[in-house]
A and B are shown apart, each in its own frame.
Chain A
């Protein structure tokens, strides 16, 4: 459905959080014919091996209208932390998924005690900056 969009925004635009912190923000969308919409907090791995992933929290945004903005608050768990090495990265994200179809939006976030992606020594040499 052309022209459809979904946007996830955190309250102050931050994408770095500490474990246990509450993420507040809004999901806004323009969707035609969506029967359901849900916001997911999830983590997944990226890298050389098979992908591992886990949806930690799902928030239903039932009966989505064509144009809407809905607030959300989701508490992060205590772990795992965001990290990267050469072989594997663990990435946290908020994902809004509409059905039917595959319309979705994703906002990657960083979850760690010092609010920086943990870089394993092997990757740190090649990439010094955070998240």
Chain B
């Protein structure tokens, strides 16, 4: 199968938007306003934090906020000039700062971000665990959610292996969907013997994949 035909190709997965459970968008936005637009979206890897932050930003942009975003990847402990400019150049009182991966920041960088965000309308961050700002929403995944997404992307039968897949990736939907990509690409057959030999290490495959350097996006 060509990569472009794979139903679990990254861009098709990224097109799946966040599905709120147990709360409506109106309630979430009300809670955010009550927190004076300073809050955190919390959850482990692959639980939808980034997607929710994007969707939230879109809705808040429609409310008249000027959305300014920055993303920190693993190992990046400072904002640096490029991300600082994205957040703070030509500041405006309607600026809403969205920082994805804020737990990466060291204490000094986090302090600077909070200080500089005081003149903005708000600061919303994603974190792996609660603490830096009041929690707006805790992202959770379920086998049912994975089954629904797998079914939508891959059609009938795609969701059949979900219970094992969900457990193997500890609820990390991104890695679970990557495994489904591999299945469709028949990559499994190519690395089958290796996996058989190192069966117990299979759960380590997820983190290794997430550490791969991203391609440059223009």
Closest A residue by C-beta to B209: A48
Pick the contact of A51 from B178, B186, B212, B217 — CB < 8 Å? B217
Are B186 and A53 interface neighbours, CB within 8 A?
A: no
Chain B residue at minimum C-beta to C-beta distance from A123: B2
Q: Is B187 among interface residues, defined by CB-CB distance under 8 A?
A: yes
The answer to whether the Cβ of A104 comes within 8 Å of any Cβ in the partner chain is no
Flag if A49 contacts B10 (CB, 8 Å): yes
> Which of B9, B178, B214, B217 touches A46 (beta carbons < 8 Å)?
B9
Interface string of B107-130 (1 = CB under 8 A from A): 000000000000000000000000
Q: A11-19, A27-35, A58-66, A86-94: which one contacts chain B?
A: A86-94
**Interchain CA distance A50-B216 in the complex, whole Å:** 8
Provide the residues of chain A in CB contact with B5, threshold 8 Å.
127
Question: Please, how many angstroms separate the alpha-carbon atoms of A89 and B187 in the complex?
Answer: 15
Q: Does A55 interact with chain B (Cβ within 8 Å)?
A: yes
Nearest neighbor of A50 in chain B, beta-carbon distance:
B214
Contact-residue bracket for chain A: 20 to 34
- Contact status B3-A46, CB under 8 Å: yes
Chain A residues, Cβ within 8 Å of B190:
122
Q: What is the size, in residues, of chain B's interface with A at 8 Å between Cβ atoms?
A: 22
Let me know if B185 is at the binding interface, CB within 8 A.
yes
Could you tell me if A52 and B2 are in contact, using CB atoms closer than 8 angstroms?
Answer: no
Known contacts A51-B11, A86-B185, A86-B186; is-contact A46 B4 (Cβ 8 Å): yes
Please give, as numbers and ranges, the residues of chain A lying within 8 Å of B218 by CB-CB distance: 52-55
Tell me the chain B residues, 1-43 only, with Cβ under 8 Å from chain A.
Answer: 1-6, 9-11
Instruction: Choose one: A47, A54, A55, A119; the contact of B6 (CB below 8 Å).
Output: A47
Which residues B203-218 have CB closer than 8 A to chain A?
A: 212, 214-218
Q: Does A113 make an interface contact (CB < 8 A)?
A: no
Within the assembled complex, what's the spacing in Å between the Cα atoms of A57 and B88?
A: 31
Q: Are the C-beta atoms of A48 and B217 separated by less than 8 Å?
A: no
Q: Per-residue CB proximity of A84-125 to B under 8 Å, as 1/0?
A: 111111010000000000000000000000000001001100
User: Is the CB–CB distance between A126 and B4 below 8 Å?
Assistant: no
A47 CB to nearest B CB, Å? 3
Question: Is the CB–CB distance between B3 and A123 below 8 Å?
Answer: yes
Contact B4 A89 (CB under 8 A): yes
Question: Is A26 in contact with chain B by the CB < 8 A criterion?
Answer: no
A45 at interface by CB-CB < 8 Å: yes
- Shortest distance from the beta carbon of B67 to any chain A beta carbon, whole Å: 16
Is B181 close to A, CB under 8 A?
Answer: yes
Residue of B nearest to A124 (CB): B2
Distance of A27 from chain B, by nearest CB (Å): 23
Check B10–A50 contact: CB distance below 8 A.
yes
Known: A48-B185, A53-B217, A85-B3. 10 other contacts (CB 8 A): A48-B9, A50-B10, A52-B215, A84-B2, A85-B2, A86-B185, A87-B187, A88-B3, A89-B3, A126-B186
Return the 10 tightest CB-CB contacts between A and B, nearest first. A47-B3, A89-B4, A84-B2, A52-B215, A89-B3, A86-B185, A50-B214, A46-B4, A126-B1, A50-B215
